[in-house]
């Protein structure tokens, strides 16, 4: 039987209960790739008929992680940002997302400014998932109709997160619904 959303959620719960750290999350990343290789799942939740916008597919009442479908109509280039004290896994469903991972070059003594340098750049293509651990900084760049499924450690709208202005180095607090 194809690997479906229910099985993915059951496995994610088991992984995080066994190890809420990087190893448990890595198991979720691998399982998200399995889920995205299920054509029926992709068609149902990320296909042409899927409702546009951001949809919460699941929120765990106990462990608080979320599974989100990002059904994008328009392309977007995000600023570098973190996911606060949470982690996030991005799994590509259709088209692609260009990912950039950033490192801080400054000594973090100024809470309002940062200097970033590129650590890694790569393209996520359908069926591939990338993981961004707590505090990691990344930016995303995707074309019209690119769609992805994201798993986050908690509801990111409820925690403090920051984004970085590359030109000025200014660190800004993110507000809810700034999405990715």
Q: Which of residues 141-180 bind Fe ion (CB under 5 A)?
A: 180
34 vs 83 by CB, closer to Fe ion = 83
Report in angstroms how near the CB of residue 43 gets to Fe ion at its nearest.
25
Provide the minimum distance between the beta carbon of 133 and Fe ion in the complex, in angstroms, as a whole number: 12
Residue 92 interacting with Fe ion (CB under 5 A): no
Q: Which is nearer to Fe ion, 39 or 74 (CB)?
A: 74
Q: Which is nearer to Fe ion, 36 or 38 (CB)?
A: 36
Q: Contact between 66 and Fe ion (CB under 5 A)? A: no
Q: Which long-range contacts (CB under 8 A, 24 or more apart) does 25-32 make?
A: 25/87, 25/89, 25/131, 25/133, 25/153, 26/131, 28/89, 28/151, 29/89, 29/91, 29/129, 29/130, 29/131, 30/129, 31/3, 32/8, 32/89, 32/91, 32/129, 32/149, 32/151
Strand partners, 123: 98
Q: Does 31 bind Fe ion (CB under 5 A)?
A: no
Which residues of this chain interact with Fe ion, rule CB under 5 A?
180
């Amino acid at each position: 039987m194809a690997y479906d959303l229910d099985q993915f959620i059951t496995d994610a719960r088991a992984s995080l209960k066994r190890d809420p750290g990087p190893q448990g999350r890595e198991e979720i990343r691998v399982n998200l790739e399995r889920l995205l290789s299920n054509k029926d799942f992709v068609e149902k939740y990320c296909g042409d008929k899927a409702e546009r916008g951001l949809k919460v597919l699941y929120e765990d009442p106990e462990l608080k992680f979320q599974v989100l479908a990002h059904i994008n109509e328009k392309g977007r280039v995000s600023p570098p940002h973190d996911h606060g004290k949470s982690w996030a896994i991005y799994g590509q469903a259709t088209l692609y997302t260009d990912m950039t991972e950033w490192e801080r070059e400054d000594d973090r003594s100024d809470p309002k400014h940062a200097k970033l340098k590129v650590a890694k750049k790569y393209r996520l293509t359908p069926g591939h998932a990338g993981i961004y651990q707590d505090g990691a900084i990344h930016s995303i760049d995707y074309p019209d109709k690119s769609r992805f499924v994201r798993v986050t450690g908690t509801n990111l709208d409820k925690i403090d997160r920051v984004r970085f202005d590359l030109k000025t180095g200014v660190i800004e607090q993110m507000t809810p619904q700034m999405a990715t």
